[in-house]
Structure 1
Amino acid sequence: MNFQQAKFFITVNEWKGLPQDNIIEVAFAGRSNAGKSSAINCLTQQRKLAFTSKTPGRTQHINYFSLGDECFLVDLPGYGYAEVPLSVKLHWQKLLSDYLTYRESLQALVVLMDIRHPLTNLDRQLLEWFEPTGKPLLILLTKADKLGRGGQTKVLHEVKNELKSLKLPYQVVPFSSHTRQGFDEVTEILHSFFKKDNQIKELDE
């Protein structure tokens, strides 16, 4: 699979607008300021595939990107932006929880967290919705270039320690769209997600 060939497919804002539920989907989720769009652009090596903005919370739809062979990369709306109207928050909360819980095509979830502020209450809520599925989880600790190696290692161990009780396979990787730290490792993991028989062993570190 060549992520560089990713192309925009469709954008939706309600459950009934989702594509037919018989494909392989890997979804990206994260707080509005976690660098999700930048990570998607970095991993697909396309500068403008996913919308990036200096104003968090601008992405208000679920965006599908086709990878060919009935595979989709799914960009979920950023969450946690305080200035989004309450009605919009409630709409996306329901859609997001339903998508993570009931979407059969969803093969794995990538959650992006700023390495300086990981595992917020909203992040934990997202994981609670997803955990019952038992599907693979990848957490990207984004903006890793903002910390030195010692700081990265400290946060990595803290996050892994909190996630030990998760009842699903997971991995945690420090990542930087700016320096491409973690690029090769994350690309390899994503390739495994798009295989129907993929399995990820939980890291013991």
Structure 2
Amino acid sequence: MKINSSEFIISAVSPKQYPTDGLPEIALAGRSNVGKSSLINTLLNRKNLARTSQRPGKTQTLNYYKINDAFYFVDVPGYGYAKVSKKEKEAWGTMLDTYFQANQPLKAIVQLVDLRHPPSKEDIHMHEYLMYFGHPTITVATKADKISKGKQEKHKRVIAKDLRLTSDDPFILFSSFTGQGKDTLWKTLQYYMKNV
């Protein structure tokens, strides 16, 4: 994928703030600190378009990034961070329910997990939640550079088993440090967006 343009558009919390141009959307979901911002920046060849934070739980809105004036990445709030209040978590839950439920432009969801660790309860819960809505889901295991090549397959098998992935489910190992998985992920995203 050749990136000609990429820009932050809006932080939305309700449908009235969603873009109305009908362009395809790819949502990115994952635990706080799993590397969503780094993945976005790596895919778009940008350093700081998506702000990486040392403070987990910073993304609290649906952040829309428009790419090539043709489609959007939508960064959704990170989950599993204890310091977020119960009230905030409930607000996020409602916001995500609304977004995933009736969103026609949404073509696929990328769920990020950390290759170094077995999926957390929150990872498993999120995967089941995404399955409920029926949108195509691509599992991306980040921080692959932290695991030696010889052990990556073993870690991948643990994640696949815990998330109950089948051989047909897209599952990509990714490193924003080395670029591993970048081309494969772009090809997979283009397949779901068709012709974009």
TM-score after normalising by structure 1: 0.85
Match of 2:178 in 1: 179
Match of 2:146 in 1: 146
Q: Do residues 106 (structure 1) and 106 (structure 2) align?
A: yes
- TM-superposed CA distance for 1:122, in Å, is 1.3
Residues 74-109 of structure 1 deviation map (CA, whole Å, 9 limit, x = unaligned): 111111111112211111022123322332211000
Kept after mapping to 1: 8 A contact 2:4/2:68: no
Match of 1:191 in 2: 190
- TM-superposed CA distance for 1:2, in Å, is 3.3
Kept after mapping to 1: 8 A contact 2:118/2:162: no
Structure 2 SS opposite 1:39: helix
Which consecutive aligned stretches of 4+ in structure 1 deviate over 4 angstroms post-superposition? 163-166
Kept after mapping to 1: 8 A contact 2:124/2:162: no
Read off the aligned partner of 1:109 and give its amino acid letter: I
Read off the aligned partner of 2:100 and give its amino acid letter: L
Change in CA separation of 1:193 and 1:2 when aligned onto 2, cut-off 3 Å: farther
TM-score after normalising by structure 2: 0.89
Change in CA separation of 1:176 and 1:116 when aligned onto 2, cut-off 3 Å: same
Kept after mapping to 1: 8 A contact 2:111/2:139: yes
- TM-superposed CA distance for 1:69, in Å, is 4.5
Percentage of pairs with the same residue:
38
Distance 1:3 1:125 in 2: 33
Kept after mapping to 2: 8 A contact 1:118/1:141: no
- TM-superposed CA distance for 1:178, in Å, is 0.8
Distance 1:17 1:143 in 2: 33
Read off the aligned partner of 2:171 and give its amino acid letter: V
Identify unmatched segments of 5+ residues in structure 2: none
Read off the aligned partner of 2:80 and give its amino acid letter: G
Q: Do residues 45 (structure 1) and 45 (structure 2) align?
A: yes
Read off the aligned partner of 1:87 and give its amino acid letter: K
Q: Do residues 125 (structure 1) and 121 (structure 2) align?
A: no
Identify unmatched segments of 5+ residues in structure 1: 199-205
Structure 2 SS opposite 1:11: strand
The root-mean-square deviation of aligned C-alpha atoms, in Å, is 2.3
Kept after mapping to 2: 8 A contact 1:30/1:111: yes
Structure 1 SS opposite 2:112: strand
- TM-superposed CA distance for 1:151, in Å, is 2.0
Residues 144-168 of structure 1 deviation map (CA, whole Å, 9 limit, x = unaligned): 11111232110112222344467xx
Q: How many residues align?
A: 196
Distance 2:83 2:29 in 1: 19
Change in CA separation of 1:164 and 1:81 when aligned onto 2, cut-off 3 Å: closer
The 5-angstrom pairing of residues 3-18 of structure 1 reads: 3=3, 5-18=5-18
Q: Do residues 25 (structure 1) and 10 (structure 2) align?
A: no
Distance 1:154 1:186 in 2: 20
Residues 119-173 of structure 1 deviation map (CA, whole Å, 9 limit, x = unaligned): 222122222222134332111110111111232110112222344467xx62111
